[in-house]
Amino acid sequence: MKADAMKQKWELMRGDAKIARNYISEEKGLEAVKFCEDMVTRLYSDDMDYAHEMAIQLTVTKYNLRR
């Protein structure tokens, strides 16, 4: 899910409304962010944007972040 869609569909949990991760509950969010950042480092080869997109897709699936 892209940040714009997340901001429109989900309720702000806390913090700056401009930051998409602030729309995920703190406990679930911390686990998801940790997983996502780890996956970026594991998936990175020559294209950081691609690694980031893939890591986000895996994180959304693993943590059921679709609403």
> pLDDT tens digit string along 4-30?
776 666 666 667 777 666 666 667 778
Residue 40 placed within a domain: yes
pLDDT digits (tens, 9 = 90+) for 33-65: 899 999 999 999 899 999 999 999 999 899 887
What backbone torsions phi and psi does residue 30 show, to the nearest 5 degrees?
Answer: -65, -40
pLDDT at 33: 86
18 falls within a domain = no
Instruction: Inform me whether the pLDDT recorded for 67 exceeds 60.
Output: no
| 32 lies in some domain | yes
Return phi, psi of residue 17, to 5°. Answer: -65, -15
User: Residue 65 has what pLDDT?
Assistant: 77
For residue 40, give its domain range. 25-67
Provide long-range contacts, Cβ within 8 A and 24+ apart, for 28-33: 28/63, 28/65, 31/63, 32/59, 32/62, 32/63, 32/65
Q: Is 35 among the domain residues?
A: yes
Residue 8: inside a domain: no
How many structural domains is the chain composed of? 1
